[in-house]
Amino acid sequence: MTAALEITNLRKSFGQTEIIRGVDLQIMPGERHAVIGPNGAGKSTLFNLITGRFPQTAGVVALHGHDLKGKAPYEINRMGLSRSFQITNIFPKMTVFENVRCSLLWSMGYRYSFWNMVARSRALNEGAEAILEQINLQRRRDIPAGMLSYAEQRALEIGITIAGGADVIMLDEPTAGMSHSETDYIMDLIRDVTEGKTLVMVEHDMGVVFGLADRISVLVYGEIIATGTPTDVRANPRVQEAYLGAALEAEH
Amino acid sequence: MTDTTHNTHSDVLAGSGLTLAKALPWLIASAFLLVMPFVFTSNSAITIMNQMAITIIFALSYNMLLGQGGMLSFGHAVYMGVGGFLCVHIMNWDQFFGTLPLPVLPIFGGLFGMGLALIVGSFSTRRAGTVFAMISLGVGELIAACSVIIVVFFGGEEGISGDRTYGLPFFGIEFLQQIEVYYLTAFWLVLSALGMFLFSRTPVGRMANAVRDNPERAEFLGYSARWVRFYSFVASGFFAGIAGGLFAINYEILTEENLNLATSGSILLVTFLGGVGFFFGPVIGAIVFTLLQTVLSLQTELWALYVGALFVATVMFFPGGLAGVLMMHTPPLVLGKLHLLVKPYIKTLLPAAICILATAGFIEILFHARHAAIGDDQMTLFWMTFSHANPVPWIAFGAVALGGFWLARRNAPELVETWHEANTDTGARP
């Protein structure tokens, strides 16, 4: 079986500084994988390299066995990879419903059509309604997305990310800045909407990480120091030394 | 709250077909266009309405870029201009024009505008923001400069002129009368506005909004922001060209003025004044601006000063434009509280209007005192004739301006308070 996402010796330098220093990672289809690590370890950079936001300095990122080198974000998205952002990244002036509907357009084959009316496509509108129901925002469907509460915007962000039907979903700190109850809600939501899909997430909240992930990678100073099941990672002495012990203590 | 969500929900499911509610604004607008010449019968009024219709199409096409696609263009007059120039050339090409009914002519302007937009858009739409704005400015200047260089197409400084009546008679109509041209223009206005509205409802039109709001996110949804901008740009060039064709039919002459930066700047002003956030915003902007430009300019030499002040006030206080101000009243209307606003509006806005008129009067006297020919001290203002050397009018206008300002100031807090109340859902709805 080909890995959903396979990263080989990935490197990224900004000027003299090497941020990602040779990352190898294999994520199988259907796996829920979390990347954890201290601040500044390069987690978001790793995400940006995978999704084509920045070009890599060296190494290979392959999605279902296809090299992603030199591909623009929209091309990578069309190949079945979708991502959310650490800082909420929605269409603030458009309604919640429009946000979701726009994220369905490409995957439903509309491309750059200027001869179809979006309001006339039943599949499109029902699809958007279904996503809204999944992220529990039907009641807010007609207000501009910029006016949603923070947690709602995060939920919408996840909705937009999964709407296109991509089979590899990457979430960058989906619960950042949330209260406990909001975190629980988002965690359930993520579990629901990524059913049967490959999930890669960066997360700081250890509760979310250990509750959701099948496997965990620990990134420290641009290198993965351990990959394995939550139990293995928790028990790994290097991880404890470098990061997890401190993080777990901070949790309590 | 629950039942409102419910209503809109069923609206959308029912909204897959053409409903009367959706067609109604268009039917009313069309009927309005049909009736207007019977209300305003004079030739000059019809000329003003033609000018308005052309400006509406042009402003709507401009808003495809600014409002819908987030592209600030400083050179949009170019696309209207070249479309117009081509149409005049077709008018002068006897063998071909003799076989062409005049109402078809704007299509050629549209296609030519679109062709130019296709070329310019291929490199200018890579980025939005400052880069796009600067390229549009450069291209605008370049083509305006070409008008004195490529004399064979642009006719140099005096421009080129033609005669619309040489076309193939259209059901016996030769378009000798202004009124015939009016209906031709009105027909194209409805057709173009509908075309642009429907474009905004297509997948690429929807994505134009998405790219405007957040180009990066749009890329992560599978759309290249650049190509989405490109399609909007090309469509916008087409409709600007249509406006140019209508201009050619109306005035039968095009000059460098039709594609220079001043014209490009004024369409930005018109669009912003009307409001970029709503489809119908530029329509209001074009109507108000044309009225100011034609009617106000007959009354005062200083009309441009007042339009400028209006524009600055709009940008500073009502960034949503006139359409935004209108639409601000939707929540009170939905809550059934619009009537609360009537009294405070009269109490605040009437003194404010008086203050503005009196200030304008004061400026007019000042202008007359400074610039009138020596010995000519008589002037007429608001149906009163007096001498600018007389101190009474100065004092009177100054006092009325200050008084109006004081009254408006005094009553403004009440308006603000009522405004908040009218926008608050107290739940006591019938």
> A139: which 2 tokens?
């009641």
Nearest-by-CA chain A residue for B213: A91
Task: Answer for the pair B211, A94: CB distance below 8 angstroms, yes or no.
Answer: no
CB atoms within 10 A of CB A22: 14
Q: Which residue's structure tokens are 């819908």?
A: B68
- Label residues A77-86 b or e (16+ Cβ within 10 Å = b): bbebbbbbbe
A72 inside 8 A of chain B by CB: yes
Look at residue A245 in the predicted model and tell me its pLDDT.
57
Task: Answer for the pair B269, B58: CB distance below 8 angstroms, yes or no.
Answer: no
Place A38 in a pLDDT band, splitting at 50, 70 and 90: confident
Please name the residues between 202 and 221 in chain B that touch chain A, using a CB distance below 8 Å.
202-207, 209-210, 212-214, 216-221
Q: Which residues of B touch A77 (CB under 8 A)?
A: 219-222
> What's the pLDDT tens digit per position in A2-17?
899 999 999 999 998 9
How close, in Å, is residue B415 to chain A by CA atoms? Answer: 25
How close, in Å, is residue A232 to chain B by CA atoms? Answer: 34
How close, in Å, is residue B294 to chain A by CA atoms? Answer: 35
**Pairs from B93-100 (Cβ < 8 Å, separation ≥ 24):** B94/B166, B97/B166, B97/B167, B97/B168, B98/B166, B98/B167, B98/B168, B99/B168, B100/B167, B100/B168
- Give CA–CA dist B52/B66, Å, rounded: 20
Nearest-by-CA chain B residue for A124: B203
> B296: which 2 tokens?
């106000």
- Give CA–CA dist A97/A91, Å, rounded: 11
**Length of chain B (residues):** 430
Domains in chain A, number: 1
| Rg of chain B in Å (alpha carbons) | 24
Q: Which residues of A touch B218 (CB under 8 A)?
A: 91, 102
For chain B, 430 residues long, the average pLDDT of each consecutive 10-residue run is 39 54 90 93 92 97 96 96 96 92 96 97 94 96 91 91 90 88 96 96 95 93 95 97 97 93 94 94 96 89 91 91 92 87 90 93 90 81 85 91 93 90 69
Task: Answer for the pair A199, A112: CB distance below 8 angstroms, yes or no.
Answer: no
- Which of B6, B19, B220 is the best substitution to test chain A (most A C-beta atoms within 10 A)? B220
Which 3 state secondary structure label does DSSP give B88? helix
Look at residue B5 in the predicted model and tell me its pLDDT.
38
> What's the pLDDT tens digit per position in A99-125?
999 999 999 989 899 988 998 889 999
The DSSP letter of residue A95 is B
CATH number of the domain bearing residue A21: 3.40.50.300
- Give CA–CA dist A54/A20, Å, rounded: 12
Q: A25 - beta bridge partners?
A: A7
For A74, which of B214, B222, B231 is closest by C-beta distance? B222
- Give CA–CA dist A228/A212, Å, rounded: 14
Q: B160 - beta bridge partners?
A: B254
Look at residue B429 in the predicted model and tell me its pLDDT.
46
For B15, which of A106, A119, A164 is closest by C-beta distance? A119
For B214, which of A90, A106, A110 is closest by C-beta distance? A90
Q: Which domain holds residue A13?
A: 5-251
Residues 6+ apart with CB under 8 A from B320: B275, B277, B278, B327, B328
How close, in Å, is residue B220 to chain A by CA atoms? Answer: 5
Look at residue A248 in the predicted model and tell me its pLDDT.
58
Summarize the confidence of residues A235-247 as an average pLDDT. Answer: 75
Mean pLDDT in chain A? Answer: 90
pLDDT higher at A222 or B426: A222
Q: Which residues of B touch A164 (CB under 8 A)?
A: 221-222
Please classify residue B238 by burial: count the beta carbons closer than 10 Å to its beta carbon, then call 0-12 exposed, 13-18 middle and 19+ buried: buried
Q: Which domains does chain B have, with CATH numbers?
A: 27-304 (1.10.3470), 331-422 (no CATH)
A91 inside 8 A of chain B by CB: yes
